[in-house]
């Protein structure tokens, strides 16, 4: 039988996963925004940006966005796998949920609230027993 406070862990994990998916959906729209800002700076004679600097800016911006996308997608997958495994009572999922919660504490204010809820649920004795079977 699943413990009552298990939902204190699984529900915030699911909310974190959905928020990460929303963040991944917004990420591709940052490239055109950065390009328009760079083009505006390039056409401004007082900015002092050369064509070489503008090209370098576009390369680094594109690379940064791709790396961010890959890391965010991997983190979202890890969060979802932790959510599913926690519902099944896997021991490693409780530890992973605690790690996700601690890192979520840095994401003020929503991540902080979700992280505190996960920590309360993960340290509940019934949830500990459920996850150690």
Query: pLDDT tens-digit profile of 19-61?
Result: 999 999 998 888 888 888 888 877 887 877 777 888 888 888 8
**Per-residue confidence band for 99, with pLDDT thresholds at 50, 70 and 90:** very high
pLDDT for res 40 = 84
SS3 85: helix
Dihedral pair phi/psi, residue 124, rounded to 5° = -70, 135
pLDDT at position 32: 86
Percent of the chain with pLDDT over 70: 100
Q: Name residues whose C-beta falls within 8 Å of residue 68's C-beta, 6 or more positions apart in sequence.
A: 27
pLDDT of residue 70 exceeding 90: yes
**Average pLDDT taken over every residue of the chain:** 91
Give which of 1, 3, 17, 5 is closest to 84, Cα–Cα: 17
What pLDDT is attached to residue 82? 97
């Amino acid at each position: 039988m699943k413990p009552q406070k298990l939902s204190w862990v699984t529900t915030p994990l699911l909310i974190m996963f959905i928020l990460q998916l929303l963040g991944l959906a917004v990420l591709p729209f940052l490239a055109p925004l950065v390009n328009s800002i760079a083009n505006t700076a390039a056409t401004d004679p007082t900015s002092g940006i050369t064509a070489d600097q503008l090209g370098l800016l576009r390369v680094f911006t594109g690379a940064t966005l791709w790396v961010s996308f890959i890391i965010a997608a991997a983190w979202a997958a890890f969060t979802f796998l932790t959510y599913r495994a926690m519902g099944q009572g896997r021991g490693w999922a409780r530890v992973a949920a605690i790690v996700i919660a601690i890192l979520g504490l840095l994401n003020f204010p929503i991540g902080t609230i979700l992280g505190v809820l996960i920590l309360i649920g993960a340290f509940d004795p019934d949830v500990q027993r459920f996850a150690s079977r």
